[in-house]
Amino acid sequence: MTDSATLKTMAGEAALAHVEDGMRLGIGTGSTAEAFVRVLAGRVRDGMKIVGVTTSNRTEALCAELGVPTETLETVPELDLTIDGADEVDASLRLIKGGGGALLREKIVAAASERFLVIADASKKVETLGAFPLPIEINGFGMIATYLAIRKAAAGLGLEGDMILRRSGDEPFITDNGHLILDASFGRIGDPEALSHALFAVPGVVEHGLFLGMANTVILAGDDGLETLEA
């Protein structure tokens, strides 16, 4: 059985085949995206010219450490390709993302890209989204009211389950944009589009981890090799 780190490197190497010299490249957050950055850095050292726009302070620091040049989305507001990981993906290329806490920036960067390529190990492919708790980014002001409104909105779709405030050690986890995250264990999400609309209707919800109709290509690395899904 192939170990997780090797699978992530396999996916990262496969993603590199989609990167062309001169590209404006969105670079995601999380362990699989970091595996891609390490592969990309080797190509940059060999002379490839790209400019990266990262989705988190963590990825920005890794790029700086490895010599991958970056700009901000303010200076490079239109991107050719974004490469990022996912926590779950279904056959329709709908995703749950945000396990690394960067869902807001990840969605903004992906939306600014002409193409969005997702890389993951094969265990992330699911029949129905929802086994992985759905991250919901919220404003700290009125968080209890927001929590209750989210529960009510989910219940209207037949969804129930624990919603836990994400923590970092003894303190609440704070995103790069200064928000909090609720991890919602709703179980099987039969209608992700309806849940997305319901969550966005709740004042205090900044973003959620359902990425719907965004991914163009998904590359999954498993014991049997690579599987590519196209939208």
What are the boundaries of each domain within the chain? 4-122+212-230, 134-202
Q: How far apart are CA 31 and CA 28, in angstroms?
A: 9
- Say which residues have a Cβ less than 8 Å from residue 197's Cβ, sequence separation at least 6: none
pLDDT tens sequence across 60-106: 999 999 999 999 999 999 999 999 999 999 999 999 999 999 999 99
Q: Which long-range contacts (CB under 8 A, 24 or more apart) does 71-78 make?
A: 73/108, 73/109, 73/112, 76/24, 76/51, 77/112, 78/24, 78/112, 78/114
Q: What is the DSSP string of 56-124?
A: SHHHHHHHHHHT--EE-TTTS--EEEEEE--SEE-TT--EE--TTS-HHHHHHHHHTEEEEEEEEEGGG
DSSP state, residue 20: -
Stated length of the chain: 231
pLDDT band at 1 (very low <50, low <70, confident <90, very high): confident
pLDDT band at 188 (very low <50, low <70, confident <90, very high): very high
Q: How far apart are CA 15 and CA 216, in angstroms?
A: 13
Q: Which residues are catalytic?
A: 106
For range 115-132, the mean pLDDT? 97
Q: What is the CATH number of domain 4-122+212-230?
A: 3.40.50.1360
**Residue 109 confidence (pLDDT):** 98
3-class secondary structure per residue, 137-153: EECCCCHHHHHHHHHHH
**Residue 64 confidence (pLDDT):** 98
Mean pLDDT of the chain: 97
For range 117-140, the mean pLDDT? 97
**Residue 117 confidence (pLDDT):** 98
**Residue 98 confidence (pLDDT):** 97
For range 142-157, the mean pLDDT? 98
Q: Which CATH superfamily is domain 134-202 in?
A: ACT domain (3.30.70.260)
**Residue 83 confidence (pLDDT):** 98
Burial 38-72 (b: 16+ CB within 10 A, else e): ebbbeebeeebebbbbbbbebbbebbeeeebebee
For range 41-62, the mean pLDDT? 97
The reply to whether the predicted model has a pTM over 0.75 is yes
pLDDT above 90 for 229:
yes
For range 110-120, the mean pLDDT? 98
Burial class (CB in 10 A: 0-12, 13-18, 19+), 175: buried
pLDDT above 90 for 125:
yes
pLDDT above 90 for 44:
yes
Q: How far apart are CA 38 and CA 216, in angstroms?
A: 23
